[in-house]
Chain A
Amino acid sequence: EPEVTQTPSHQVTQMGQEVILRCVPISNHLYFYWYRQILGQKVEFLVSFYNNEISEKSEIFDDQFSVERPDGSNFTLKIRSTKLEDSAMYFCASRQRTSALASNEQFFGPGTRLTVL
């Protein structure tokens, strides 16, 4: 069964460093998402991406964040200068393009745990 994959599973970095989190969405999916969960808090939406551009973003997704689909398979989240409060589990998700309401399902990867020291 096709699945969303993410690498690395755990990333440790120093405050101020740039990190790139990588995702490979399911191959025929056209909508891509990043969410994050800070320990003890709810899963929060960061950004959605469709047709090579951002379609929606939250207040969390400020100028320090960017997303890219550099080739036909990868979808990346870059944090330019990490802060302590960026420590979280980052989830990538993807979904098909469909008009069927019941197929609005987003498929999630296993997450990358980012630790900023």
Chain B
Amino acid sequence: ILNVEQSPQSLHVQEGDSTNFTCSFPSSNFYALHWYRWETAKSPEALFVMTLNGDEKKKGRISATLNTKEGYSYLYIKGSQPEDSATYLCAFNNAGNMLTFGGGTRLMVKP
């Protein structure tokens, strides 16, 4: 059984704060690490697919890093806005078809 863990489970920040969360995953048989943003009643939206150790990807105010040797990825949000409020999911892909998800980090940004 693959173990993918995310921390913290939930996070409340003020508008303008920068924040980050962690995803840890098995360091063996690594293929890809996915980050999704999920708002209630909507489709989980793909943010990043990360494949190479040391990868850093950026989309607007959101960025992510990857360390496959130690088995972790960080997601950063710079200058959080209320519209960033969502659950952020990471998912580990070990060359099979399936994604193994973490429990998610629920972010709430107060105006």
Contact = CB atoms under 8 A, between A and B. Distances in A.
B98 A101 contact: no
Given A42-B101, A42-B103, A102 B51 contact: yes
A33 B89 contact: no
Contacts of A44: 101
Given A35-B99, A56-B98, 20 more contacts: A31-B97, A33-B98, A42-B4, A42-B101, A42-B102, A42-B103, A45-B98, A55-B97, A58-B98, A101-B31, A102-B49, A104-B49, A105-B34, A105-B49, A106-B99, A107-B46, A108-B44, A108-B46, A110-B42, A111-B43
Interface string A97-117: 000011111111111000000
27 contacts: A3-B43, A31-B97, A35-B99, A35-B101, A41-B103, A42-B4, A43-B91, A50-B97, A55-B97, A56-B97, A56-B98, A58-B98, A91-B44, A101-B31, A101-B51, A102-B51, A104-B31, A104-B49, A104-B51, A104-B93, A105-B34, A105-B49, A106-B99, A107-B43, A107-B46, A109-B43, A110-B42
A44 B4 CA distance: 12
B100 interface: yes
Interface in A1-18: 3-4, 9
A-B pairs with lowest CB-CB distance, top 6: A48-B97, A45-B98, A43-B101, A108-B44, A101-B51, A110-B43
- Consensus secondary structure, chain B interface: loop
Interface in B37-84: 41-44, 46, 49, 51
Chain B interface extent, by class = 20 to 34
Chain A interface extent, by class = 20 to 34
Nearest to A43: B101
Contacts, number: 60
Interface of A: 3-4, 9, 31, 33, 35, 41-45, 48, 50, 55-56, 58, 91, 101-111
B36 interface: yes
